[in-house]
């Protein structure tokens, strides 16, 4: 990475930043509370990996029953059906609603599985597994953090449908047990990603010899 030569980590310059408010202190303050926000100062979260793996594991454990049990129970005059996540998406495809089926499949299967893989890869990469450059891994991490929440959409759909489709004998929809396990799986995976200390990604780079910290880059901001 060529642009890494412009940066020096706070840690090797003898500083640390509060993870919560960003205030900068000398490294000797590690373990003390931040004078600005009271958060315990630490240059790196050493227990980060344990927390990541613990949340990751419960997340995976919840995701399995979430796919085996029904998400929705639909009852109409003619029939009653119980749909798992995948079966629900397939039913939508049979109706010709390919776009929505794709949203459901991506949000409920694609994203969660990719997320488990990405979090595991990031955690392993800190230990030296894989060859992806730190910049790319940082982007992967940000992607996981940003996209992870969107998996919750299926739970909301179940909530909306269950509240909406209560038409006496004509049709009714009620939630299945997978709604709970799926929601838990999303929440645990979000916690796994949040526990990850992304600064560890960059520690594998090492630092270049430089005496002073450079100015932050200035970039014109495009009008939103």
Partner 1 sequence: MTDNATNGQMIVCPHCDALYRVRMPEFGERAVCKRCHTVLIAPRAHAMIRIVALSVTNLILVIAALFLPFLQISRAGFSNATSLMDAVLAFATGPLFVLSLAVGALIVVVPMLRMLLSIYVLAPMAFDRKPLPASKRAFRLFEALKPWSMAEIFVLGCGVALVKVSALAQVHLGSAFWMMCVLVVVVLLQDNMMCRWSIWNALERRK
Which parts of 103-162 interact with partner 1 (CB under 8 A)? Answer: 103-104, 134-135, 138, 142, 145, 148-150, 152-162
215 interacts with, out of partner 1, Zn ion, none, CB within 5 to 8 A per kind: partner 1
How would you classify the pairing of strands 171-175 and 166-167?
Answer: antiparallel
DSSP state of 43: S
Contact positions vs Zn ion (CB under 5 A): 18, 20-21, 23, 34, 36-37, 39
Q: CA angle, corner 201, sides to 200 and 206, nearest 5?
A: 85
Q: Which is closer to partner 1, CB of 35 or CB of 50?
A: 35
Candidates 17-25, 51-59, 62-70, 111-119: pick the segment binding partner 1 (CB under 8 A). 17-25
Judged by CB under 8 A, the stretch of 63-71, 110-118, 119-127, 179-187 that binds partner 1 is: 179-187
Tokens of 6: 């412009």
CB 18 within 8 A of CB 37: yes
User: Which of 21, 80, 93, 120 touches partner 1 by CB under 8 A?
Assistant: 21
82 binds partner 1 (CB under 8 A): no
Structure tokens, 49 = 């990996």
Query: 98 CB contacts (<8 Å, ≥6 apart)?
Result: 92
Q: Is 69 in the site for partner 1 (CB under 8 A)?
A: no
Q: Does 213 bind partner 1 (CB under 8 A)?
A: yes
What phi and psi values does residue 171 have, to the nearest 5 degrees?
A: -165, 145
């Amino acid at each position: 990475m060529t642009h890494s030569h412009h940066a020096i980590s706070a840690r090797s310059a003898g500083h640390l930043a509060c993870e919560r408010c960003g205030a900068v202190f000398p490294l000797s303050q590690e373990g003390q509370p931040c004078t600005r926000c009271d958060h315990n100062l630490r240059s790196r979260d050493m227990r980060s990996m344990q927390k990541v793996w613990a949340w990751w594991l419960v997340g995976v454990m919840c995701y399995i029953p979430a796919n085996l049990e029904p998400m929705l129970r639909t009852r109409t005059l003619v029939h009653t059906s119980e749909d798992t996540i995948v079966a629900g998406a397939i039913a939508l495809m049979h109706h010709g609603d390919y776009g929505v089926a794709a949203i459901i499949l991506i949000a409920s299967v694609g994203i969660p599985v990719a997320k488990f893989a990405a979090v595991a890869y990031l955690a392993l990469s800190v230990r030296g597994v894989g060859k992806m450059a730190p910049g790319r891994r940082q982007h992967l991490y940000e992607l996981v953090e940003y996209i992870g929440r969107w998996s919750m959409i299926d739970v909301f759909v179940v909530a909306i449908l269950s509240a909406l489709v209560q038409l006496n004998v004509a049709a009714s929809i009620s939630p299945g047990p997978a709604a709970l396990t799926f929601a838990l799986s999303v929440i645990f995976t979000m916690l796994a990603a949040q526990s990850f200390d992304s600064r560890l990604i960059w520690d594998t780079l090492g630092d270049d010899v430089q005496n002073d910290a450079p100015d932050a880059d200035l970039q014109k901001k495009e009008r939103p």
